[in-house]
């Protein structure tokens, strides 16, 4: 199967932030080194057109992003300094998720080696997320084809507040977020299903909660497309996670979501979302395991 990335090269950003940019390149290299993907299977996405972003985001916000006129407060809330490279990689990241979703609908499986920017709301970037790739992709797909119902299974350890804001009102999208209850963001938007897990939650309790969440989606409807945010940040060693999943538990999590998507006959589009291990190699290990599991199913 093929993978998408916001670029074959990481966009350099000015300092003054703690975002682990290097993980994207490391992940691409590991996928090739481990024989999960050939170098030619990893495709660079083009920048998402502004008109497409405008289907999910407020025009005035996009204009401030485009022209570098975000306020100091907006930059603080975003957590990354503005630069043309930041905007470029954000646009390519959103487009990568759309490309992966298209792959999923055609081939059954798709993956963006980035994306999952679930904190971005209609008129605001937040928590390292400039554009909401999920809302942008769903709007674009609906312009291209008849799209059935969509489920968002957000297993990043932080609540998907931007996704909730943008897509909870949509009756054909089920937004589900499984996250640490004590984590960022502290002002939440409401998803169709929010599961707040106690600090320190380990593998068994996590997997039980996730099974319950998937059962809830099952009672809602049979989705045609599942977006799976396979965040690496519920891992026990993550700096920002507060949960205690092992790598084994995270692999079991991936299998649960992929099994359920298969049982629905749904296309599955995997996106990375967060991961803040002190050693980047741990975040990348978790992402590699997710990609390997998806490739095994894609055949």
Whole-number minimum distance, CB 119 to Zn ion, in Å? 8
Q: With beta carbons less than 8 A apart as the criterion, state whether 121 and 132 touch.
A: yes
Backbone angles phi, psi at 156, to 5 degrees: -65, 150
Query: Which C-beta is closer to Zn ion: that of 148 or that of 237?
Result: 237
DSSP category for residue 150: E
Q: Which sign does the torsion angle of CA 109, 115, 121, 127 carry? A: positive
What pairs with residue 152 in β-bridges?
Answer: 175, 227
Query: Which C-beta is closer to Zn ion: that of 114 or that of 274?
Result: 274
Q: Look at residues 297, 298, 290, 299 and name the one whose alpha carbon lies nearest to residue 31.
A: 290
DSSP category for residue 185: P
Does position 233 interact with Zn ion (CB under 5 A)? The reply is: yes
Does position 158 interact with Zn ion (CB under 5 A)? The reply is: yes
Query: Which C-beta is closer to Zn ion: that of 121 or that of 274?
Result: 274
x/- string (CB under 5 A) for Zn ion, residues 115-154? ----------------------------------------
Q: Which two tokens stand for residue 231?
A: 């965040």
Does position 156 interact with Zn ion (CB under 5 A)? The reply is: yes
Q: With beta carbons less than 8 A apart as the criterion, state whether 120 and 93 touch.
A: no
Does position 285 interact with Zn ion (CB under 5 A)? The reply is: no
Q: Which two tokens stand for residue 4?
A: 């998408």
Does position 180 interact with Zn ion (CB under 5 A)? The reply is: no
Q: Given 6, 119, 158, 168, which residue is catalytic?
A: 119
Q: With beta carbons less than 8 A apart as the criterion, state whether 237 and 277 touch.
A: yes
The count of chain residues that interact with Zn ion, using the rule CB under 5 A, is 4
Q: Look at residues 190, 56, 75, 50 and name the one whose alpha carbon lies nearest to residue 121.
A: 56
Query: Which C-beta is closer to Zn ion: that of 36 or that of 80?
Result: 80
Whole-number minimum distance, CB 128 to Zn ion, in Å? 9
Helix (H) or strand (E) holding 281: helix 280-298
- Determine whether 119 is an active site residue: yes
Residues 248-277 that bind Zn ion (CB under 5 A): 274
Query: Which C-beta is closer to Zn ion: that of 37 or that of 129?
Result: 129
Residue with smallest beta-carbon separation from Zn ion:
274
Whole-number minimum distance, CB 51 to Zn ion, in Å? 29
Whole-number minimum distance, CB 242 to Zn ion, in Å? 11
Task: State the burial class of residue 15 (Cβ atoms within 10 Å of its Cβ: 0-12, 13-18, 19+).
Answer: exposed
For tokens 């692999």, name the residue: 251
Whole-number minimum distance, CB 54 to Zn ion, in Å? 26
For Zn ion, the binding residues (CB under 5 A) are 156, 158, 233, 274
Question: Which residues belong to the active site?
Answer: 119
């Amino acid at each position: 199967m093929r993978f998408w990335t916001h670029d074959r090269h990481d966009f350099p950003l000015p300092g003054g932030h703690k975002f682990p940019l290097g993980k994207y390149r490391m992940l691409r290299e590991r996928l090739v080194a481990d024989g999960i993907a050939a170098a030619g299977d990893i495709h660079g996405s083009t920048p998402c057109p502004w008109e497409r972003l405008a289907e999910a985001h407020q025009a005035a916000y996009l204009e401030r992003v485009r022209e570098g006129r975000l306020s100091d407060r907006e930059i603080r809330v975003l957590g990354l300094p503005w630069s043309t490279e930041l905007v470029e990689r954000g646009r390519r990241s959103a487009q990568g998720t759309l490309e992966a979703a298209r792959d999923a609908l055609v081939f059954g499986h798709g993956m963006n080696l980035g994306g999952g920017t679930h904190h971005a709301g209609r008129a605001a970037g937040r928590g390292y997320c400039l554009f909401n790739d999920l809302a942008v992709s769903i709007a674009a797909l609906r312009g291209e084809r008849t799209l059935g119902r969509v489920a968002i299974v957000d297993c990043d350890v932080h609540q998907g507040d931007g996704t909730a804001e943008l897509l909870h009102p949509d009756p054909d999208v089920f937004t589900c977020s499984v996250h640490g209850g004590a984590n960022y963001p502290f002002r939440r938007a409401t998803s169709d299903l929010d599961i707040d897990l106690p600090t320190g939650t380990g593998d068994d309790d996590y997997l039980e909660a996730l099974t319950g969440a998937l059962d809830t989606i099952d009672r809602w409807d049979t989705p045609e497309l599942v977006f799976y945010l396979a965040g690496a940040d519920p891992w026990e060693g993550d700096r920002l996670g507060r949960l205690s999943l092992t790598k084994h538990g995270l692999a079991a999590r991936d299998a649960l979501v992929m099994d359920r998507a298969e049982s629905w006959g749904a296309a599955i589009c995997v996106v990375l979302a967060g991961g803040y291990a002190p050693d980047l190699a741990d975040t990348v290990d978790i992402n590699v395991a997710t990609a390997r599991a998806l490739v095994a199913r894609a055949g």
